[in-house]
Every structure is written in structure tokens, then in C-alpha cells.
Structure 1
Amino acid sequence: MADDDAEAPSSYMPVVIKEHFATTMARMKADKPGLMDKQMVLMAQRYDLANHPAKNVTMTGGKPIQEGVRVKLNNGITWDKLSAMTPEEIQTKNLYPAGFLPLPHAHQSEGGMVFPKFEIDELKKQEGRDLTRFDLDFDIPDIFLPEFPAPIFLTTRPDLGDVSKGKLITIDNYYETFNGLLNPKQIEGVRLLVTPFAQQQFNQTEDRRSERPSRGVACFDCHANGNTNGAFHLVGDIRPQKFRHRIDTPSLRGVNIQRLFGSQRALKTVEDFTEFEQRGAYFDGDPVIATKKGVNILDRGSQVQAMAEFQEILDFPPAPKLGIDGKLDPRKASGAELRGQQVFFGAGKCASCHTAPYYTDNLMHNLRTDRFFKPHMVNGMMAVSDGAIKTFTLRGIKDTPPYLHDGRLLTLEDTIEFFNLILETHLDDQQKKDLLSFLRVL
């Protein structure tokens, strides 16, 4: 075989590992400080990462919300000046904010699931299971992540409020928490959602990224308490590696009203997504690796259905200012919130995709962000167009930072500036403030 043939790109991962595990781990541990320094320099260049909590505004469970636009602009430019330019001008002058570019994985060439430290610590405490990776760490500060553990609300028992009782639901406590509240099939669904199964980086083989052989990862390790903890991964269905998109864990709240699953995959049911995750995404879309590491094939008619039955009763957090049509009750809302609603359904063009009452149209849209910048490499990732992305629901949006499918937007203010630029809506400062007030009560 010719040398160039041996190095030809492949869609498949190496199955036979020729380096001893101890050697791999020592090499990656030595590389880790430099790798993380490079990623954190990128984060600091893109964002203001200081702790600036909003006054009198918290997530549903009480965690402070970070306020302010955190995406940094080039010297001499303002948001008003930027939004007055055409996409072509911004691209030509290289003025597109770096924080609006796709966010690379903390180790793009390696990829895989990465968990925030608070999740790792709690699972060690409860189960003695360790989701620490020896090759990299989480890269977004905790202040920009969802509250932990998140409240759990059920569509079947809205009278109970938060049924989590302030605990992270795991294999240790799921039964005592839900026995008497759920039917037996739903309880079995919860059991499967908190049961760890082998995954690309967490398994028993020599190409894992945990020090010790691992039982694996559970669905609720990312979708903590049916919400999200901000864990990230790479999408399983794009090749080559440098083009794969980072994906932030979405909340499972309100899954019952959704009709598309996966940010870009357009899977049609939560059952399809559950099965896809176990067969493909857990192993980066590689069935050969899945066989090697211990794929867990779920039975569609019983196990997958039971998991879906529980997921589909996970409710949005209460929004007491909204009426049954999903819009503000004028007797309960402030002037700023009512004005923000007008911006949302009017000048902001938000409702063209995020329709009431659940603030999603259950479709996919291509924002064509590549109008604003030229493709280029960023920490091992090729920054190009995102392509079609599904419309995420905005109900309970204040509970689920960071935003966009890859978590590149740290605050709601960042999100407002992003869409003001991309949609070319030219909102003024007051309209942006009012829109923020509205988003915070959804």
C-alpha cells in the first residue's frame, strides 16, 4: 500500500490500539495543561468571564443569573455601529465578534463528553463513579451554567411543584423519590435514564479517557434531573473531525411538545433519539467501536418506550405571568415586560420561529451566519456555517444557559445581540432591555 493511501481520511476510528494505556494516559496528562491553557485563552479573548449576577433575578431554584453582554468587540466598534453594517462589510473588515463564531470543543481533535465539576463531584459522592477525564477539563465557568441540582416539575402532578426535593436524581435515590408518584413503567424509565452504560470515553477498554475502567455514562449525567448541566460533546454525524460541531446539552423539559430531536439530526420522536444515542452518539456514530466497548441495545417496545414515557411528563418551570395562550397577563406583567413582548412579536422577529405558547415552531432554520465571516481554523475546529438548526423552545430559557446549540452565547443579553445582528433587526438599547425583561419571565 502506498504511503498516501495509508494516510487517507477515514470515517472510522482505530479499533486496535497499539499504544499501552499507561503510555497514552501519561502522554495526555502531560499535554493537558497546555491544551487547557490554549482553550481558556480563547475563552478569555472571546468573553468577559467575570462574576456579574443580575439584581433580583434568579433561576427557578434560586441560582443568580449572570447579566450583561459578555461577547467582546474589536477595539473602536460598538454594537450599534456593528448592527448598522451589512454582512458583507462585517466580513470584509473582519469585524464579526469572535464570541459569535462556533465554539470549539475543549479538545476538538479528541472530542467526547465533558462534564462540569459539580456533576462529577456529586456522582462520586453518591455512586463512587468518576466522570473525570485525564485529558481535559470543563471550559465554561460554573456561574454561566444551569443551577444544580435543577428542580423537576411533572405535567401529571403540577400540584407538587419541585419533586426532586433538592437532590440530584441517581441510581441511589430514584426509587424512593418517585415510588408513589409514577406508574411502574415510568419508574422503570427513570431507572434506565440513571443507569450508566459504556460510552466512548467512559468504558472498560484501553482507549477510554478515565483513569480506571468505567461503568459508563447515564442519560441523566448530562440531562441532570431532566434539565441540563451544560455538559458538552461533539455531534456524531459529521466528518471529518475538524468540521464536527460542539453540542451543548439541551433541557428535556417540555419534550412532550417537541417534534424534532437533536440540534441538527431532525429525529422525529424522543424514542428515535433515545435509541440513536445508545447505538451511535455514545460512540461518536461508530458501530464498530460500539461493539468493542459494549453497546447497550435497548428494546424499543419496552425499555425505550418506558424511558420516553417518563421524559414526556417533564414539565417546564412555572411561569406565573403567562396566560393560557403563552402570552403575558397584562394584570401581572410590568411595563418593561409588556413592551418586551411587543418587541418579541414585532420588531425583533423572534416569533417568526419561536411561536407561542411554547415558543418554538418545531422546524429547522439556517441562519446563514457564514455571511459575516470567512471560514478559518479555531483551536482545531473549522469555523464554517452552522447549517440548519432546530428551533429550541424558549419556555424556561433563563434556567438553561449557555445558549445556542453549542453554548457559544453565555447570557441572554449575548443572545439578543447575536440575533439582532444575524436577523438585521436594528433594535435600539431600550428595545433590547425590554426584550430581556420578557425573556426572563417565559
Structure 2
Amino acid sequence: MPRFVSLALPCVVVMGAAAFSMAVASDPLPPDLSYRPLPTMPFSAIRANDEAQKPAVMERQRNLLNDRYDLANRPIPGVMMSGGRKPVQQGVRVKLPAGETWDSLAAKSPEEIRQNGLLPKGFMPLPHVKQAAGGQVFPENQIGKIGRDEGRDLRRFDVDFDLPDQMTPEFPPPIFLTTHPELGDVSHGDVLTIKNFYEYMVGILTPVQLEGLRLLLTPFPQEEFNQTEDRKVAMQSTGVACLDCHANFHTNAAFHQTPDVRPQASRFRLDTTSLRGLFNQQIHGSKRSLRSVEDFSEFEQRTAYFNGDHMSATRKGVNLPDRPNQVAMMAQMQNIIDFPPAPKLDPLNRLDPTKASEQELKGEQVFMGKGRCAECHIPALSFMDNNMHDLKLERFYKIGQTFNDMVAIPDGPIKTFTLRGIKDSPPYLHDGRLMTLADTVEFFNLVLGTKLNQEEKDALVAYMLTL
């Protein structure tokens, strides 16, 4: 029989704003505000409780999503993601407060919006489907693919993925290589796995790149997917691979929580980012601002796989990749992943006027000027600036509100993500709180006070679709 540590359950894993205020004011903090507690019950009891609670957990999250968004399947006619298999969704999906229009809201000051509670709920931080537990949650298509190809189970018994398929990226996504642009998509229309990568990539990649790819596809223990009784999968698991989340070096909308914030109730949801164009990125991680992909790869294996807790990592079987002989090879592979083709852009990422429509050219003007987009998303720098920025969204809402056990605190500085190939990467922002590109336009129109009219907003969306 395994031994279980008798610990009190964390007092503020699930808490309201008042409890949060008391917790952050206390000094020193109780240990369980930083460290995840060990199980207090046998695994069989934890699993039974989680499975019994799961329907209510999922129903609560569905209610929150339906309260915030219109999640209907309404694609833009004729506009597909880069692989040509999935349409891009159209229209603003964030729901407005009663009696407001987007123009009336944009005319109000941040103070007026905050005092009257008028910030659309869809602009607020999006909670994890089970905030108190957190951890990685994979979409059904990824779970099925890895189960069929590898016999490895990515399905949690306590939660399911919460967004509808139409609001997620194309699956499987295409793969483009900087080393072989003439080949186009090299994915074979399939998801790379530890079982097929050699067959698909031998002769295209160098030996160093192939070894890096093998490591990126090798599962290692993770907080919810491991051999211990402290896991969220039914059977003991070998873990997850880097490319379980970054499927084909893109994103499949899998999410977890930032490892960089405590206590648990304040940790924000973290949407998986694309690895396309990593060769031009100088900082990595939404909060940590790690300065190389080697640092990021090593740190992810050491702590972030384990919710930022190196103590938990040691207990569950952390993988410690060798910096020169393994991490470097992983980085070599990641650094040759290219953006999808953008035939309307010239070599410096400006629209070619002989190829772009009048509306797209108008959108570029808005992007470069009134919309203020290019101040951070610089076209010549792959539509990013390798900096972190604080949008100070808390100007518009009262700090400490609780949504499905998540206490909303300021986002703080978040790194600028690239906009190249952005139509392939819904949902948007670091936590996936915005479902469509039209939602992002309304969000930044409000936050930056740009006062765009509808024609300018539509043109801006049309322009981003060309990227």
C-alpha cells in the first residue's frame, strides 16, 4: 500500500476575492500557497471523486463560455487556414453588456467602464476549466491521434477540453521548413509522432535535427501525466512530449496554467503557442522572458512541466536533458520551423499592391497608423518586437473578481507574439480569451483607445488574414 502524507487541503486553492486579499496580505505565506500539496487520499478515492464531480465542472465551464461568447460555427466564406482543411471563423464573438454597442463602449473612459462593470466578460481573464487543479488539458483530436499511434493516453479523468472544435486551429497543421521552402508542407497531412517521424523526415533533416525531433517527440513525466499516485490519468503514464501541445510545431489549443504566478487561484490560463518562426524570437515564455530557446527547452523539462515546482519534478521523474548534446539539438530542430507562405507580402512583410485588394491595403494603413498595431507587431521583425508589454487592462475592471475559482488580477507584462500566419492560431491572447480576429480588433480598439470605425475594423481583419 502506498503511503500518503497527511496534509490539510490548501485553504485558498478555491477562494473568493476576500480570501485572496487576506492571503496576499499575510506574511509569510503558508507553504501551500506556493507548493502543490501531496495527495491526502488514496488514488482510487481521488479518481472516484474527480469523476463524480466532472459533469458539474464541465457544465459550469460551459455556462461561463456561453455567457461570454457566441460559439456558433460561422466561417468566413472561402477563407481557409494554411493547410486548406479548416475555415477561419468570422465576426465578433465576445458578448456585449446589455444596452451597449462597441461604439458606445469605446466612447467611455476606462474609469467609467470599471465603475459600472461594463467591460465585456469575454475580455476578462479566462479561467482554466478546473482552476483549482490546473494542469495540461488536450483537445480530443490530439488525444485520439496519440492514443491510436502510440497507445499513450492523454485523457484526464477529471476534466475535458472546453472549447468547440471550430474555435481551435486546423488539425493536423502543416509544417514548413526554412531549410526546404521548395517542399512546402512536409507533414504528409499527418501529425508527427515518435512512431512516424523518421519515415517522414529522413532525407529532409540533418542527423542533428532528426535527433532533436526525436527528443521533442519523446514523452517524459509531467505533473498530471506520470507514474505516481499524484496524477490525473487513469493508468500510470510515461508522460507527455513537447509536440503533444505544439503539434507539428504549431498549436492545437491545448492549455495549462502559467508556472510563474502563485497562489493557485491567481494563475492564468496559458494557451499553447505556435513554434513557427522561432528563429526570429529573442525571448521565450509569456512571463519568464527566457533569452534563448535552449533555456526555454531546458527549463520546461526541469520545472514548467511540473507547474513550475522543481520539488514535484524531482519526485515524479524529471528529465534533465544534456545541454550541449540534447538541448542544442532540440533547439536546432525548433529553429528551422518556418511560417506558412504569405504570397501577398513582399520580402519586408509589406503588402504587394499588385496582389492585395483595396480593403487589405486599407487594413495595412490602419495597422501601421491609427490602429497602432505596428508599434509592437513590427512587420520587418516578423510582426513582433521581442519585448514585453503591459496593456494595463485592470484600468477597465475591478481587481479581485472571481470566475470559476479564478481570481482576476492584472495580467502584467506579456511578450509580443508574432502575427505571421495568425489566421491559423485561434483562440487569441496568451490565455485564449478571444475567439476570432474580429474579437482581437475590438479588444485592442478599446484598450488602446484607437476609435476605429467599422470600415477600419473590417479592413484590419482582412489585412491580418493575408499575414
Matches within 5 A, 1:178-197: 178-197=201-220
1:122 to 145, 154, 160: 145
2 CA distance for matches of 1:282 and 1:93? 40
1 CA distance for matches of 2:377 and 2:237? 41
* Secondary structure at 1:72 match in 2: coil
2 CA distance for matches of 1:164 and 1:409? 28
Matches within 5 A, 1:77-96: 77-96=100-119
Report the equivalent of 1:243: 266
Question: How many angstroms does 1:92 deviate by?
Answer: 1.0
The answer as to 2:406 corresponding to 1:381 is yes
* Secondary structure at 1:57 match in 2: strand
1 CA distance for matches of 2:112 and 2:141? 43
What is the root-mean-square deviation of aligned Cα atoms in Å?
1.3
* Residue identity matched to 1:57: V
Matches within 5 A, 1:165-180: 165-180=188-203
1:113 to 114, 136, 142: 136
Question: How many angstroms does 1:184 deviate by?
Answer: 0.4
The answer as to 2:64 corresponding to 1:51 is no
* Secondary structure at 1:56 match in 2: strand
- Per-residue CA deviations over 1:185-228 (Å, capped at 9, x if unaligned) read 10000000111000000001001100000110000000000000
* Residue identity matched to 2:448: L
Matches within 5 A, 1:230-269: 230-269=253-292
1 CA distance for matches of 2:391 and 2:239? 36
1 CA distance for matches of 2:118 and 2:209? 51
Question: How many angstroms does 1:9 deviate by?
Answer: 4.7
Is residue 50–residue 158 contact of structure 2 (8 Å, CA) maintained in 1? yes
Question: How many angstroms does 1:93 deviate by?
Answer: 1.1
* Residue identity matched to 1:395: R
* Residue identity matched to 1:416: V
1 CA distance for matches of 2:40 and 2:356? 64
Report the equivalent of 2:392: 368
* Residue identity matched to 1:366: D
* Residue identity matched to 1:408: R
The answer as to 2:20 corresponding to 1:20 is no
Stretches of structure 2 lacking an aligned partner (at least 5 in a row)? 1-6, 12-29
* Residue identity matched to 2:65: M
2:426 to 398, 401, 407: 401
- Per-residue CA deviations over 1:379-408 (Å, capped at 9, x if unaligned) read 111112100010100000000110000000
1 CA distance for matches of 2:62 and 2:428? 19
Question: How many angstroms does 1:51 deviate by?
Answer: 0.6
Stretches of structure 1 lacking an aligned partner (at least 5 in a row)? none
Matches within 5 A, 1:3-402: 8-10=30-32, 11-15=34-38, 17-62=39-84, 63-357=86-380, 358-375=382-399, 376-402=401-427
1 CA distance for matches of 2:437 and 2:280? 23
1 CA distance for matches of 2:116 and 2:180? 55
2 CA distance for matches of 1:439 and 1:119? 27
* Secondary structure at 2:78 match in 1: strand
- Per-residue CA deviations over 1:384-436 (Å, capped at 9, x if unaligned) read 21000101000000001100000000000000000000000000000001111
Question: How many angstroms does 1:14 deviate by?
Answer: 2.3
2 CA distance for matches of 1:366 and 1:111? 24
* Secondary structure at 1:247 match in 2: strand
2 CA distance for matches of 1:176 and 1:9? 48
Question: How many angstroms does 1:292 deviate by?
Answer: 1.2
2 CA distance for matches of 1:342 and 1:18? 59
2 CA distance for matches of 1:211 and 1:374? 40
2 CA distance for matches of 1:43 and 1:18? 32
Task: Give the count of matched residue pairs.
Answer: 439
- Per-residue CA deviations over 1:7-64 (Å, capped at 9, x if unaligned) read 635322224x331111110000000010110011000000001110110111001211
Is residue 437–residue 461 contact of structure 2 (8 Å, CA) maintained in 1? yes
Matches within 5 A, 1:430-441: 430-441=455-466
2 CA distance for matches of 1:435 and 1:343? 7
1 CA distance for matches of 2:260 and 2:418? 23
TM-score with structure 1 setting the length: 0.98
